[in-house]
């Protein structure tokens, strides 16, 4: 019983970290994408 609750706690700790990591990579990718688009429109 104690083991199970501990496992759930670890999962709950890991999940938000994974989600935060995805948000970070996604937002950085978006900023890169928009920067490149601005550069392209600037040269055009």
> Tell me, what's the pLDDT at 21?
82
Paired tokens of 43: 């040269």
> Tell me, what's the pLDDT at 9?
78
Residue 22 inside a domain? The answer is yes
Residue 6 inside a domain? The answer is no
Indicate the number of domains in the chain.
1
Residue 29 inside a domain? The answer is yes
Residue 10 inside a domain? The answer is no
Residue 21 inside a domain? The answer is yes
| CA triple 17-22-24, angle to 5 deg | 95
Residue 1 inside a domain? The answer is no
> Tell me, what's the pLDDT at 43?
65
- Give the pTM: 0.42
Distance CA 23, CA 7 (A): 25
How confident is residue 1, by pLDDT bands cut at 50, 70 and 90? low
Summarised one tens digit per residue, pLDDT across range 2-44 is 566 677 677 777 787 877 888 888 888 888 888 887 777 766 6
Residue 36 inside a domain? The answer is yes
Question: Which residue range is the domain that position 19 belongs to?
Answer: 15-44
Residue 4 inside a domain? The answer is no
């Amino acid at each position: 019983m104690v083991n199970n609750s501990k496992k759930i706690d670890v999962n709950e700790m890991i999940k938000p970290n994974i989600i935060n990591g995805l948000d970070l990579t996604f937002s950085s990718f978006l900023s890169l994408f928009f920067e490149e688009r601005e550069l392209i429109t600037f040269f055009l």
